[in-house]
Every structure is written in C-alpha cells, then in structure tokens.
Chain A
Amino acid sequence: MNWLFRSLNSSIGKKVIMAITGISLILFLLVHLANNLTLFAGPSTFNTVVKSLDSIKPFIRVIEVILALIFIFHIFNGVRLWYENKIARPTPYAVNGSSKNSTLLSRTMIHTGSIIFIFLVIHLSTFWNAFNFSDLHRTHSYYEFTADMFSNVYYSIFYIIAMIILGFHLNHGFQSAFQTFGWNNNKYFPLVKALGFLYSVLMAVAFSSIPIYFLLIGGN
C-alpha cells in the first residue's frame, strides 16, 4: 500500500484528498439543508423528523464518524497545504499583484475555511450537543430549542455571516474539485462554474433563511 500513501502525499495527491473530501462535504450540506428546511413546516414536522433520526441512532452514529473523518482529513490537509505553500515562497513580494491575476475568493480559502471551522466548533457545541446529550432527548422539543437559540440576535447574525462565508468557500471549492479531478474542458467547465456559483448562493441563502425567519417571527 506504500504506492497509495506516496501518491496521496504528492502535491497532486493532496489536492485529490481536498477534492474528494470537499465534494463529500458538498453532498452532506445538501442533506443537512433538506433536514433544516423542514423547520418551515412547523414544530410537529421538524420534531418528528429529528425524532425519527434519533430512533436510528446507531446508524446515524456510524455516519457521524465517517463525516467527522471527512472533516478531519479536509481540515488537516488544508492546513498542511497552506503551511507547505507558505514555505514554498519564503520571501514575499514587495508589491502584491495577485488581485490582478486571480480572484480574492480563490486566494482566501484558508481564511474562509478557518472561519467555517470556528463556526463548526460552536455549531457542534450548541446544536449537535443539545440535540444529542441534553433534555431534548426526552422532550423532543427540537423546534422550540432552535427557535429559542435563533431569537438571540447576536447568535443569529453570527450564523448568517458564517453561512455567507461558507458560500464564498464553496464557490471556489466546487469548481476547484472538478479541476483537480482533471475534468476541465470548454464544454462543461463553464457549466461547472455556473453550477458551483448557484450551489454556493443556494447554501448561503437557504441556511441563512432559518435564523432570519426566527428573528422575524421573534422566537416561538
């Protein structure tokens, strides 16, 4: 299996890891969003959905472990690439001309990624933690808990900002993954870029719509 480790440790291999984990997370976000949007159907629907997920917990736990591994690989590899790429240019330029040859979003993946990581930690320690290890387990009042959380203006604004930054990260990441797999030609790459843009806007808007909704209706 040495050849596999060597391949994945090469410059292109590390990109491939970023792309595979990135695409996996892109797909995960779709599932997550579908679940979240049931909030709009009211308390009973959302509580039933979460309860039914709760009833297949062993299966969900396995998925969660896989998901955690994907996140860890994506984050570890991203930080590693950032660090190695920093070392590849020890002396910076006096004049930074990068704005003339590349987009801001493509150059700031480590920064948007870091903010998303902070969001992830806070998100897990509040929602995931409460849904799994609190009284909610007994009361099944997940909707009410969510409404309560998002009635806090600061918390909601933090969520919305994080989702906009997630959109930035996804916009570059989506097409970047296709390029890394070697799928770039004149016919479908413009389509991939457009699809990535639509996807990232959808994610930012749809995920943000939940805190905005609860802010507007004022909690419960």
Chain B
Amino acid sequence: MAEKKINLLVKVWRQPSTTSVGSFVDYKISVSPDSSFLEMLDEINNDLEKKNLEPIAFESDCREGICGTCGLVINGQPHGPIPKIATCQLHMRNFKDGDTVWVEPFRAKAFQVMKDLIVERSGLDKIIAAGGYISVNTGSIPDANAIPISKERSSIAMDAAACIGCGACVAACKNASAMLFVSAKVSQLALLPQGQPERTRRVQNMVKVMDELGFGSCSNTYACEAECPKGISVKNIARLNREFILANVKSDNIEA
C-alpha cells in the first residue's frame, strides 16, 4: 500500500543576511505524516539543492529535544502547536492535508536574524558567563551525599536545570523578555548548597547583562511557561524577583 502523504503550503522566512531585507517564500510539499518537522524542511532543502537553489538555513543538532539548538516559530508559536516539545520533536502528523504552515525565526532585538531561520542567540551565553556557574577548585571526586540536601529541594533545582536554553521563552514573550531563561539558571544554583557563595553576585550580574542586551521586561503574561519545551515554571521568575530584590537590599556592595 502506498504511503499516505499530506500536502502542505509552507511559508518560510528567507533572509540572506542580517542586514538584508527578508520575506516569506512559498514551498509546496507532499510529506509523510510520520516525518518530523525538520525532516520536512530537509526534504524541501533536498529539492532546492537539486534545482541548484540556496537551501533554507535552519539550526538543529541532537534532534531529540535535549540540546536546545532547533527553534522555529511555527504558525505563531515557538516550537509549534504541541506543548512541551522542541521543534525537532514535532511531527507532521500534527498538521492536516491542505494546511498552510508559517515558519519564522525567533524574533527579538537581542536575537538578530543571521540567515533565514537562524538567529544570533549568543546573548543567552553572555548571561550565563555573567554568573550562571559555580566556582570550585578541581580535585579528586567528592564523596556521594557529602553535602546534605533534601529531596524536595534538589527536585525543584533539577526541574529548573531542565532548561535547554533554546530561547523559546524570549520568542514567545510579547516583550521579548528572557526572564524565564534567567530565572531557571538563577534558581537552579540558588537552590543548591554549591550555589550559595556566589548567590548574591550571580543574580545581580545576570540581570544586569540581561538588561544590557536589550531583552524586554516581564509583564507576567506567562506565555513563556506555556511555550517552554521543558515546561519550566514561572514560579522560577518569582524566585528570580525575590533573589534580585533581596540581593540588592541585603548586599553591602553599593556599586552592584
């Protein structure tokens, strides 16, 4: 029996470079419902290359939802219509025959389009470099459970650590705010004993860099939580606010 395919009109944002003007280009494709969204784009690209045309530039790496590299806005939603998955985990069976599918890059002042669907997300790395780490001396492997921590606390920290840094929160937010990302990173370390020595400095520096990079402010619409492929909770944003307010009030450093 011949495989049943669905026919789609895919409108893809094409932009040769950061400075050039972009526009949507229509592609008609007949695709297996079992293929993934990125495989569908691969098929379009195969076709384009056969015709000696420039393929669509998009990012992907692990294609199993853990690296955070892929990230497209599909029909107005980052990572597409299905909650709690990354673009690479979206399958064509979620679309109907005859559908029109709009594919856009993540849009934010801090995420400039480099080419087609690829955006510059190094801003998120800069925020991490500002404090999203712990400083420890290397040495021999520490004993397991040498540092006591409750199961509840480590679970909440682990949930925050599930953030893959894809930037969908920024893409989903009407203000292009990176608060969910920053809050997940701040929470993950603020909840653990290892994160305590740099706790104050960390939140102050990360928020400072976040603001400098031109991300917007949070207005509590919670769109980020709804679109996050890892289901990071906005309770982390509440924790970030608390951490930031307390850090600024309690820290003796008037320069920070």
Residues of B within 8 A of A2 (CB): 254
Residues of A within 8 A of B245 (CB): 12, 16, 181-182
Residues of A within 8 A of B254 (CB): 2-3
- CA gap between A118 and B255 in the complex, in Å: 41
A15→B217 contact, CB < 8 A:
yes
Return B156 CB to nearest CB of chain A, in Å: 11
Residues of A within 8 A of B231 (CB): none
Residue of B nearest to A2 (CB): B254
A106→B220 contact, CB < 8 A:
yes
User: Would you list which residues of chain A between 1 and 51 have a CB under 8 Å from chain B?
Assistant: 2-3, 7, 10-12, 14-16
- CA gap between A74 and B24 in the complex, in Å: 40
Return A209 CB to nearest CB of chain B, in Å: 30
Q: Mark A72-103, 1 if CB is under 8 A from B, else 0.
A: 00000000010011011111111111101111
Given the known A-B contacts A10-B207, A184-B238, are A179 and B220 also in contact in the complex, defined by CB atoms under 8 Å? Answer: yes
A182→B239 contact, CB < 8 A:
yes
Q: Mark A51-83, 1 if CB is under 8 A from B, else 0.
A: 000000000000000000000000000000100
- CA gap between A107 and B223 in the complex, in Å: 10
Given the known A-B contacts A11-B177, A96-B76, are A176 and B108 also in contact in the complex, defined by CB atoms under 8 Å? Answer: no
Residue of A nearest to B254 (CB): A3
Residue of B nearest to A3 (CB): B254
A88→B177 contact, CB < 8 A:
yes
Q: Mark B47-85, 1 if CB is under 8 A from A, else 0.
A: 000000000000000000000000001011100010000
Indicate whether A109 reaches chain B with its CB closer than 8 angstroms: yes
Return B173 CB to nearest CB of chain A, in Å: 8
How many B residues have CB within 8 A of the partner chain?
A: 51
Which of A88, A94, A98, A101 has a CB less than 8 Å from the CB of B176? A88
Which of A15, A101, A181 has a CB less than 8 Å from the CB of B223? A101
Return B176 CB to nearest CB of chain A, in Å: 4
User: Would you list which residues of chain B between 104 and 161 have a CB under 8 Å from chain A?
Assistant: 104, 107-110
Indicate whether B92 reaches chain A with its CB closer than 8 angstroms: no
B73→A176 contact, CB < 8 A:
no
Residue of A nearest to B215 (CB): A88
Indicate whether A172 reaches chain B with its CB closer than 8 angstroms: yes
B109→A95 contact, CB < 8 A:
no
Most buried by B among A12, A97, A172, A182: A12
B256→A12 contact, CB < 8 A:
no
Indicate whether A183 reaches chain B with its CB closer than 8 angstroms: yes
Given the known A-B contacts A12-B207, A179-B241, A180-B241, are A85 and B220 also in contact in the complex, defined by CB atoms under 8 Å? Answer: no
User: Would you list which residues of chain A between 80 and 138 have a CB under 8 Å from chain B?
Assistant: 81, 84-85, 87-98, 100-103, 106-107, 109
20 A–B pairs (Cβ distance < 8 Å), ordered by A: A2-B254, A11-B215, A11-B216, A11-B217, A11-B218, A15-B219, A87-B109, A87-B214, A88-B175, A88-B176, A88-B214, A89-B175, A93-B73, A95-B73, A100-B76, A107-B174, A172-B220, A181-B242, A182-B245, A183-B238
